[in-house]
A and B are shown apart, each in its own frame.
Chain A
Amino acid sequence: MAMMSMVEAIRDAIDTAMEADERVVVFGEDVGYFGGVFRCTQGLQKKYGKSRVFDTPINESGIIGVAIGMAAYGLRPIAEIQFADYVYPGYDQIVSEAARLRHRSAGDFTAPLVIRMPCGGGIHGGQTHSQSPEALFTHVAGLKVVMPSNPIDAKGLLTAAIEDPDPVIFFEPKRLYNGPFDGHHNRPLKSWKDHPLGDVPAGRHHTPLGKASLLSEGDEVTVLAYGTLVHVALAAVTELGIHADVLDLRTLLPLDLSAIRQSVEKTGRCVIAHEATFTSGFGAELAALVQAECFYSLEAPIERITGWDTPYPHAQEWHYFPGPKRLKAGIRRVLDGTIERVS
Chain B
Amino acid sequence: MGIFRVLKVNQHGSRREGGRQGVLLFATVSAVSGIGMNSDHANDTVPSPRHLEPRSALELHVPEPLVRPGGKPDFSHVPIPPAGDARRPAEDAPACDIHDLARTVVRVLDENDRAVGPWYGDTGIDTCLKGLHAMMKVRAFDDRMLLAQRQGKCSFYIQCKGEEAIAVGQRLVLEPGDMCFPTYRQPGLLIAQDFPILDLMCQVFSNSKDALHGRQLPVLYSSKAYGFFSLSGNLGTQFVQAVGWAMASAIQGNDRIASAWIGEGSTAESDFHSALVFASVYRPPVILNVVNNQWAISSFQGVSGGESATYAERAHGYGIPSLRVDGNDFLAVHAASRWAERRARANLGPTLIEWLTYRVGPHSTSDDPSQYRPKEENEAWPLGHPIERLKNYLTGGGHWSEEQHEQTRADLEHEVRESAREAETYGTLDSGPMPRVSDMFEGVYADMPDHLKRQRALLGGG
Contact = CB atoms under 8 A, between A and B. Distances in A.
A58 B43 contact: no
A126 interface: yes
Given A85-B234, A311-B215, A314-B214, A58 B268 contact: yes
B42 A22 contact: no
Contact of B299 (A23, A30, A124): A30
A18 to B, nearest CB: 10
A124 B440 contact: no
B36 A163 contact: yes
A33 B298 contact: yes
Given A74-B43, A74-B46, 7 more contacts: A60-B269, A62-B268, A86-B235, A126-B217, A126-B220, A308-B440, A309-B455
Contact of A30 (B233, B234, B297): B297
Contact of B33 (A22, A55, A110): A22
A58 B269 contact: yes
Contact of B215 (A105, A110, A127): A127
Contacts of A128: 217, 232-234
B432 to A, nearest CB: 9
Contact of B266 (A17, A33, A56, A58): A58
A55 B303 contact: yes
B440 A313 contact: yes
Contact of A58 (B215, B235, B458): B235
Nearest to B372: A34
Given A34-B298, A126-B217, A128-B217, A57 B236 contact: no
A241 to B, nearest CB: 24
B214 A343 contact: no
Interface of B: 22, 26, 29-30, 33-36, 38, 40, 42-46, 59-60, 62-64, 68, 155-156, 206, 210, 213-217, 220, 232-236, 265-266, 268-271, 296-299, 303-305, 366-367, 371-372, 429, 434-435, 437, 439-441, 444, 451-452, 454-455, 458-459, 461
Interface in A63-79: 71-74
Contacts of B452: 308-310
A331 to B, nearest CB: 15
Interface in A266-292: 278-279
Contacts of A30: 297-299
B38 A165 contact: yes
Interface centre among B33, B236, B461 (most CB of A within 10 A): B33
Contact of B435 (A29, A165, A310, A315): A315
Interface in A180-207: 204
A164 to B, nearest CB: 9
Contacts of B62: 32, 50-51, 54-55
Nearest 8 CB-CB pairings of A with B: A315-B214, A57-B268, A34-B298, A126-B217, A128-B233, A21-B33, A124-B155, A315-B206
30 contacts: A21-B35, A22-B29, A29-B299, A34-B298, A34-B371, A37-B297, A50-B60, A50-B62, A55-B62, A55-B298, A55-B299, A58-B235, A58-B299, A59-B268, A61-B270, A74-B26, A74-B45, A107-B40, A109-B43, A124-B155, A127-B216, A128-B232, A165-B40, A165-B43, A308-B455, A309-B444, A309-B451, A314-B214, A315-B210, A342-B455
B217 A125 contact: yes
B88 to A, nearest CB: 33
Contacts, number: 175
Contacts of A108: 42
A245 to B, nearest CB: 25
A59 B444 contact: no
Contact of B155 (A57, A314, A319): A314
A58 B265 contact: yes
A311 B44 CA distance: 43
Contacts of B232: 128
B156 A124 contact: yes
Interface centre among A30, A58, A107, A127 (most CB of B within 10 A): A58
A112 B454 contact: no
A21 B29 contact: yes
Nearest to A109: B42
A278 B455 contact: yes
Contacts of A62: 268, 270
A141 interface: no
Contacts of B265: 57-58
A316 B233 CA distance: 18
A319 B440 contact: yes
B98 to A, nearest CB: 27
Contacts of A309: 444, 451-452, 455
Contacts of B38: 165
A29 B297 contact: yes
A102 B68 contact: no
A315 B206 CA distance: 6
Contacts of B34: 20-21, 204
